[in-house]
C-alpha cells in the first residue's frame, strides 16, 4: 500500500505545478523579454534620442487608451482583421484543393510550374493600384490583395506535403484494400495537416501585409490608413501605435494557430 502511494504522489503533483505556473515557463520568459525591450525603449527615449523620432512606450500606451475610449481602435482594427482574415481563409479554400489536385496530377503540375512560379514571383504590392482600380477602395480590394499574398503559400506547401508521402505506404494500404476515404483520413490528411498549419503561420503576416498595403493605396479606415494618416501629420506616436497593434494581432493569431497545432498534431 505504501509503495502505491509513493508511486502516485509525483504523478499527481505535476498537474498542480503546471496550474500554478499558469501560462508556463516559456510564456513567462516571453513576457519578460517583451517587458525588458519596452523598458529599454522607454529608457533610451529619455536619455539617448529625441522621442519625436521613435516615440516611447508610455506615449503609445496613452494613445491606445485614447483610441479605445473613442472607439477608433476597434474601428480600424476590426477593418484590417476582416480584410486579412477573409483573404487568408479564401487563400486556404482555393490553395489547398488546388495543391491537392496538382500534386495528384504531376504532368499538369510540371506544365503549369513556370506560370505558377512567375505569378508567385510577381511583386503583389505592384498589383495594389490595379485592385483599387478594379474593385474600388472598399473591403473587397483589400481582401483580394491579402488573398494574392497568401494563396501560393498554401498551394506550394500542400503540393510538397503530398509529395512527401511514401509511395510504398500507399501501395501497402492499397494492397490491404483500403478505401479511398480511408486513405485520405489515415494517410493524406496526417501528412498534409502540418504543412497547412505552417501555411497559416506564414500566411498570417502576409495577409496583414496585403491588407495594410491596400489601405495605404486607397482606404478611409483600417490600421494601414491610420498609419499613413498619422505619418502625413508627422505624428510618430500615432505611426508606432498602428504598428504595435499590427504586431500584437500577428502575435495573437500565431499563438492561436500554435494552440490549434498542439491539439491537432498530437504525435509531435
DSSP per residue, 103-163: HH-HHHHHHHHHHHHHHHHS-GGGGHHHHHHHH-SSHHHHHHHHHHHHHHHHHHHHHHHHH
Q: Which residues contact 111 (CB under 8 A, 6 or more apart)?
A: none
pTM: 0.80
Give the pLDDT score at 177. Answer: 67
Give the pLDDT score at 21. Answer: 42
Q: Give which of 204, 197, 205 is closest to 96, Cα–Cα.
A: 197
Digit-coded pLDDT (tens) for 32-72: 888 889 888 888 888 888 878 888 888 999 999 999 999 88
Give the pLDDT score at 18. Answer: 43
- In which residue ranges of the chain is pLDDT below 50? 1-21
Q: Which residues contact 132 (CB under 8 A, 6 or more apart)?
A: 141, 214, 217, 218
Exposure string for 176-194, b = 16+ CB within 10 A, e = fewer:
eeeeeeebeeebbeebbeb
Amino acid at each position: 500500500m505504501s509503495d502505491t502511494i509513493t508511486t502516485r504522489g509525483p504523478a499527481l503533483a505535476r498537474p498542480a505545478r503546471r496550474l500554478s505556473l499558469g501560462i508556463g515557463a516559456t510564456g513567462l520568459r516571453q513576457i519578460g523579454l517583451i517587458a525588458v525591450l519596452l523598458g529599454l525603449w522607454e529608457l533610451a527615449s529619455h536619455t539617448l534620442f529625441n522621442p519625436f523620432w521613435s516615440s516611447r512606450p508610455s506615449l503609445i500606451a496613452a494613445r491606445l487608451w485614447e483610441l479605445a475610449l473613442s472607439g477608433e481602435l476597434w474601428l480600424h482594427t476590426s477593418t484590417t482583421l476582416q480584410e486579412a482574415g477573409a483573404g487568408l481563409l479564401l487563400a486556404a479554400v482555393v490553395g489547398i484543393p488546388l495543391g491537392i489536385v496538382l500534386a495528384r496530377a504531376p504532368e499538369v503540375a510540371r506544365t503549369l510550374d513556370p506560370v505558377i512560379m512567375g505569378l508567385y514571383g510577381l511583386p503583389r504590392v505592384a498589383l495594389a493600384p490595379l485592385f483599387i482600380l478594379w474593385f474600388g477602395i472598399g473591403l473587397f480590394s483589400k481582401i483580394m490583395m491579402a488573398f494574392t499574398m497568401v494563396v501560393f503559400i498554401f498551394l506550394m506547401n500542400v503540393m510538397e506535403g503530398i509529395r512527401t508521402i511514401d509511395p510504398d505506404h500507399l501501395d501497402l494500404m492499397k494492397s490491404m484494400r483500403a478505401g479511398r476515404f480511408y486513405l485520405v483520413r489515415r494517410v493524406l490528411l496526417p501528412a498534409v495537416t502540418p504543412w497547412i498549419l505552417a501555411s497559416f503561420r506564414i500566411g498570417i503576416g502576409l495577409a496583414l501585409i496585403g491588407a495594410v498595403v491596400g489601405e495605404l493605396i486607397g482606404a478611409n479606415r483600417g490600421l494601414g490608413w491610420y498609419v499613413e494618416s498619422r505619418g502625413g501629420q508627422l505624428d510618430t506616436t500615432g505611426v508606432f501605435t498602428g504598428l504595435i497593434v499590427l504586431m500584437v494581432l500577428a502575435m495573437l493569431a500565431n499563438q492561436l494557430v500554435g494552440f490549434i497545432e498542439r491539439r491537432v498534431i498530437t504525435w509531435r
